[in-house]
């Protein structure tokens, strides 16, 4: 199925998007360093199941506009999600899928305006209480090295851009070991190749991981407003056991199950790393579609 392209203005910003199908809205949110094409297998599957599946390019990721106010806070992106629901004509039967940054965003989108979303799928970045557990550990601080490096505004752009953005090649290789990301990298790099778009992507990390603010009361209040409340809807949480970006253990997955709303699920997708939507698309699509059809 060929994916359609479109544009819509939401939250004061022009968003480009890919879409397939007609029906209730299924909004699919990507992360970094990625693009909506990470959903190229899921969008047609959602369309075949009767959804209008839409995957926007996130704020600052070409060809979506770069915000004039330079705001990339998680709360800004949470508002993006709910305003996209409005602009795309979503109803109370809409569903939400998020991967990586898109997972944290979808958590907040669903929790802040729950009346808009029937069910939620979060992938490879866990809910906020689990992040709070794993974030301050030595191993996870090492895995998040790039978030700290992106604070180095004088050199980060040059380093990431060098040798045809080889830095991004390495991230994909380390986060999803053994997966051939050739096709994905073409699309991810196209979103970020312009220095202004790359700086926009850094803005996500400079707002959240700002060394002067992270852990302060101001930072906690800002991000608590974004995703300090758990979604009240049933949530499917999927994680790849070989994820080189964010590693969880069985205890974290079990805690996730206990914290989520009734009807929720949390499970591994065996043999995958971080980018499981493209690593094992048939298996992941089946799990998502089964969950969405359950209620």
Q: Which CATH number fits domain 4-293: 3.30.70.1450, 3.40.50.1820, 3.40.50.880, 3.10.450.50?
A: 3.40.50.1820
* Other Cβ atoms closer than 10 A to 66: 17
pLDDT in tens, 16-39: 999 999 999 999 999 999 999 999
Containing H/E element for 153?
A: none
Tokens for 89, please give them: 């004509």
Residue 137, exposed/middle/buried by CB under 10 A (0-12, 13-18, 19+)? exposed
**What's residue 1's pLDDT?**
75
Q: Is 118 helix (H, G, I), strand (E, B) or coil?
A: strand
* Other Cβ atoms closer than 10 A to 258: 8
Residue 186, exposed/middle/buried by CB under 10 A (0-12, 13-18, 19+)? exposed
What is the C-alpha separation between 285 and 63, in angstroms, rounded?
A: 26
**What's residue 209's pLDDT?**
97
Q: What is the mean pLDDT of residues 237-265?
A: 98
Q: What is the mean pLDDT of residues 40-66?
A: 99
Residue 115, exposed/middle/buried by CB under 10 A (0-12, 13-18, 19+)? exposed
- What is the C-alpha radius of gyration for the chain, rounded to an integer number of angstroms? 17
Tokens for 106, please give them: 């979808």
Tokens for 140, please give them: 């996870």
Q: Give the residue extent of every domain in the chain.
A: 4-293
């Amino acid at each position: 199925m060929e994916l359609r392209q479109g544009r819509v203005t939401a939250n004061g910003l022009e968003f480009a998007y890919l879409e397939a199908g007609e029906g209730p809205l299924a909004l699919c949110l990507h992360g970094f360093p990625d693009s909506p094409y990470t959903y190229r297998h899921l969008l047609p599957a959602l369309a075949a199941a009767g959804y209008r599946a839409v995957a926007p390019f996130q704020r600052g990721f070409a060809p979506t506009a770069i915000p004039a106010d330079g705001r990339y806070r998680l709360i800004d992106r949470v508002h993006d999600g709910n305003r996209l629901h409005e602009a795309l004509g979503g109803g109370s039967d809409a569903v939400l899928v998020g991967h990586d940054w898109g997972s944290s965003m979808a958590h907040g989108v669903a929790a802040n305006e729950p009346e808009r979303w029937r069910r939620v799928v979060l992938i490879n970045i866990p809910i906020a209480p689990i992040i709070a557990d794993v974030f301050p550990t030595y191993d996870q601080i090492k895995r998040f090295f790039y978030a700290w490096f992106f604070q180095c505004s004088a050199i980060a752009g040059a380093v990431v851009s060098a040798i045809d953005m080889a830095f991004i090649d390495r991230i994909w290789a380390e986060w999803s070991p053994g997966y051939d990301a050739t096709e994905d990298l073409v699309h991810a790099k196209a979103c970020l190749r312009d220095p202004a778009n790359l700086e926009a992507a850094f803005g996500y990390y400079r707002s959240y991981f700002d060394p002067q603010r992270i852990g302060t009361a101001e930072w906690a209040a800002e991000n608590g407003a974004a995703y300090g409340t758990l979604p009240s809807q049933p949530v499917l949480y999927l994680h790849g056991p070989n994820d080189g970006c964010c590693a969880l253990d069985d205890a974290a997955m079990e805690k996730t199950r206990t914290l989520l709303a009734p009807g929720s699920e949390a499970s591994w997708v065996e043999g995958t790393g971080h980018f499981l939507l493209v690593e094992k698309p048939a298996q992941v699509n089946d799990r998502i579609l089964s969950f969405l059809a359950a209620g």
